[in-house]
Amino acid sequence: MGKRVLSVMVVMLGLVVGTAAAGVIPIYNPSFDLPDVPSGDWGSVADSGWSAATPSLYFVYDPSDPRFSGTNGDNANSEGVLPDGGQIANLDRKTVYQVVGVTQPYTMYTLTFWIGTSKSDGVGTYGAELLDDGVAFATDKDSGPVADSFVQLTLIGQTGASVSGDLSIQFSHVGAGIAWLDMVELSSEEYTLAPVPEPAGLGLIGLAALGLRRKRR
């Protein structure tokens, strides 16, 4: 298993000078343990507490079969390939999302999640996004890991002064192969800015410093 961090920042006129303590934002069913399905069976998006652009009956999966090495599936330990040994989500040609709160200004959001590839389904291309009122302010789109493995990924998004509404997390898959999802976590951290003087202001500061220097002479 590996890790990768992708950081997407909003450029503003200012410097980050301080941050508040990070807080965890609750996500419903982040490890896809609901609904509790029999070994090798499926649960729908509707029953999982997540939402989807197109409803699907094949979303939550108990992988107690040869798709992944080791002991996996419901009530299994973590000795298998799966990060927590339990159920996972199938992103095959799906876009799933969850509203997790209200977007806050001047806030850094950190989304962590695990993406996997089974033994036989082929490597899939996943997408992960942080959205403010349906508009993405941080995006990660890439191919999943090699066969029979999971990788932990981190997406960081930073808001500015203007925000619009609901804060959402969204995952998707396009193209060949299948991307599998597990263990989604989200945290937030407020920050403050020190304004950066505009060019005209910098010129005035320079003239003032020069005047003081001449006066001292």
**CATH code (residue 154):** 2.60.120.260
Q: What is the pLDDT of residue 7?
A: 53
Q: What is the pLDDT of residue 19?
A: 60
Rounded distance, CA 49 to CA 51, Å? Answer: 7
Rounded distance, CA 32 to CA 170, Å? Answer: 15
Is residue 87 within 8 Å of 74, Cβ to Cβ? yes
Please give the tally of structural domains in the chain.
1
Residue with tokens 């991307």: 179
Domain membership of residue 154 as a residue range: 3-216
Rounded distance, CA 179 to CA 197, Å? Answer: 47
Q: What is the pLDDT of residue 205?
A: 47
3-state helix, strand, coil in the chain (%, to 5): 10, 45, 45
pTM above 0.95, yes or no: no
Is residue 63 within 8 Å of 88, Cβ to Cβ? yes
CA angle 169, 145, 7 (to 5 degrees): 45
Q: What is the pLDDT of residue 39?
A: 85
Q: What is the pLDDT of residue 69?
A: 82
Torsion angle defined by CA atoms of residues 60, 85, 101 and 15, in that order, rounded to the nearest 10 degrees: -130
Cβ count within 10 A of residue 88 = 30
Q: What is the pLDDT of residue 9?
A: 46
Rounded distance, CA 201 to CA 71, Å? Answer: 64
Closest C-alpha to 123, from 92, 155, 154: 92
What does the radius of gyration of the chain's CA atoms come to, in whole angstroms?
Answer: 22
Q: What is the pLDDT of residue 193?
A: 73
How do the pLDDT tens digits run along the chain, 217 residues long? 455 665 554 444 455 556 666 799 999 999 999 999 988 899 999 999 999 988 899 999 988 767 888 766 654 545 678 888 789 999 999 999 999 999 999 999 999 999 999 998 899 999 999 999 999 999 999 999 999 999 999 999 999 999 999 999 999 998 889 999 999 999 999 987 766 555 555 454 454 444 434 444 4
